[in-house]
């Protein structure tokens, strides 16, 4: 009988810390630790929240009668690091320094590796991160934008994209590294990437750049009009950024980021809601079609994932336009903790070698 491994997973969000402990693939316990905004407001930087969040995790372990010394690995959500290839990375001093300094941006996920590192020290095991948002496997061609001052960059839902790509490979009975897949993550932001032989060789900047509009983001907008808006003196830089990320997309058109609310409006006969909802699916389908050209149309499957993939009507609108390209596989949701677990288990079982940062 093969050895069982206990893996503690940590996913820090802006106002919560989700943790789960697994014995192999079996969940031992999970909890979503909510942090009131006013409790976090007193911390100047994200990294300053370390002690506050760590105490919550230690308390949760004690309440569930978990001896920290029994844990075989601690894995956290990867943060804003330098661009790196996908995979599972052991948290080392260089990574810890970059996460603590936050030179590439302040984000709650920066705490994932920090929390994992020190908890692993206490447990006497190793700590890891898996497929952070800065995963960069883009081809050189994909980086060219048309202006050398504005190169295209890789920032996307790497953790979920990589996880569902592997899941789809299992469904297809083949290895991820031998497939051409297009993965569309449909959430608050939308990222569409082409995975060629295990590498995400092209992807839209899902954070604050191009691609389809989403519930909260404007996606790619007309460049000239954006420049005029920026210099109209009607908006501050912060307000423009908010229109691109946070108040764009469905929020800008319909005043909500909830697809379920939009669907209710459509059912009640709201023509504008139907138009905008259909346009969002239309743009996702266009992006998928564009990505198909990267691999000259040789697409083994198209995967639709993320929270909005639960919306059957939205999925159907996309399928109608892209099914001619390849088989469509729907893997709805965003199983981040499970994805972190699987990355650590592949290392513990000797199926992969940890990457070095």
- For the stretch 163-187, pLDDT in tens is 999 999 999 999 999 999 999 999 9
Confidence bin at 106 (pLDDT 50/70/90): confident
Task: Report the half-sphere exposure of 75 (CA within 13 A, side-chain side).
Answer: 32
Is the pLDDT at 2 greater than 80, yes or no? Answer: no
- Closest C-alpha among 65, 57, 69, 62 to residue 10: 57
CA distance 306 to 161: 9
Instruction: Report residue 249: phi and psi, to 5°.
Output: 60, -135
Mean pLDDT of 220-246: 93
CATH architecture of 160-332: 2-Layer Sandwich (3.30)
Burial of 51 (C-beta count, 10 Å sphere; 0-12/13-18/19+): exposed
pLDDT of residue 107: 82
CA distance 89 to 325: 34
- Residue 68 vs residue 1, higher pLDDT: 68
Q: Where are the domains of the chain?
A: 6-136+338-348, 160-332
In the numeric block, the tokens 């210099």 are attached to 231
204 token code pair: 């839209």
pLDDT of residue 297: 97
Task: Give the number of other CB atoms < 10 A from CB of residue 16.
Answer: 16
Tens digits of per-residue pLDDT, 317-327?
999 999 999 99
CA distance 353 to 58: 29
Query: Are 6-136+338-348 and 160-332 the same fold in CATH?
Result: yes
* Strand 16-23 relative to strand 88-90, pairing: unpaired
Distance of CA 93 to the CA centre of its chain: 24
> What is the pLDDT of the chain when averaged over all its residues?
94
Confidence bin at 1 (pLDDT 50/70/90): low
Confidence bin at 33 (pLDDT 50/70/90): confident
pLDDT of residue 137: 96
Burial of 162 (C-beta count, 10 Å sphere; 0-12/13-18/19+): buried
pLDDT of residue 13: 83
Terminal Cα distance for the chain, rounded = 34
Please state which CATH class domain 6-136+338-348 belongs to. alpha beta
């Amino acid at each position: 009988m093969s050895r069982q491994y206990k893996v503690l997973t940590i996913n820090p969000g802006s106002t919560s810390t989700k943790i789960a402990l697994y014995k192999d693939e079996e969940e031992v316990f999970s909890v979503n630790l909510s942090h009131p905004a006013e409790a976090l407001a007193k911390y100047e930087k994200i990294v300053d929240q370390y002690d506050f969040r760590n105490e919550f995790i230690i308390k949760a372990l004690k309440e569930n009668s978990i001896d920290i010394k029994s844990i075989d690995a601690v894995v956290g959500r990867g943060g804003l690091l330098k661009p790196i290839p996908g995979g599972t990375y052991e948290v080392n001093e260089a990574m810890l320094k970059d996460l603590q300094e936050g030179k590439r941006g302040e984000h709650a996920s920066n705490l994932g590796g920090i929390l994992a590192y020190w908890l692993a020290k206490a447990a006497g095991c190793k700590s890891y991160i898996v497929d952070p948002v800065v995963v960069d496997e883009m081809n050189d061609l994909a980086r060219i934008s048309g202006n050398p001052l504005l190169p295209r960059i890789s920032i996307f839902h790497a953790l979920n994209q990589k996880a569902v790509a592997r899941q789809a490979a299992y469904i297809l009975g083949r290895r991820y590294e031998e497939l051409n897949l297009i993965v569309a993550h449909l959430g608050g932001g939308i990222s569409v990437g082409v995975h060629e032989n295990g590498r995400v060789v092209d992807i839209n900047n899902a954070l604050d750049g191009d691609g389809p509009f989403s519930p909260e983001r404007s996606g790619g907008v007309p460049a000239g009009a954006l420049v005029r808006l920026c210099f109209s003196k009607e908006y501050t830089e912060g307000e423009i950024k908010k229109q691109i990320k946070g108040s764009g997309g469905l929020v800008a058109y319909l005043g909500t980021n909830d697809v379920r609310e939009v669907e209710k409006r459509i059912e009640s006969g709201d023509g504008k809601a139907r138009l905008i909802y259909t346009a969002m699916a239309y743009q996702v389908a266009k992006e998928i079609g564009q990505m198909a050209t990267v691999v000259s149309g040789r697409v083994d499957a198209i995967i639709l994932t993320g929270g909005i993939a639960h919306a059957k009507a939205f999925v159907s609108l996309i399928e109608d336009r892209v099914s001619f390209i390849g088989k469509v596989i729907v893997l709805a949701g965003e199983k981040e903790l499970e994805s972190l677990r699987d990355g650590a288990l592949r290392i513990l079982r000797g199926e992969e070698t940890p990457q070095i940062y």
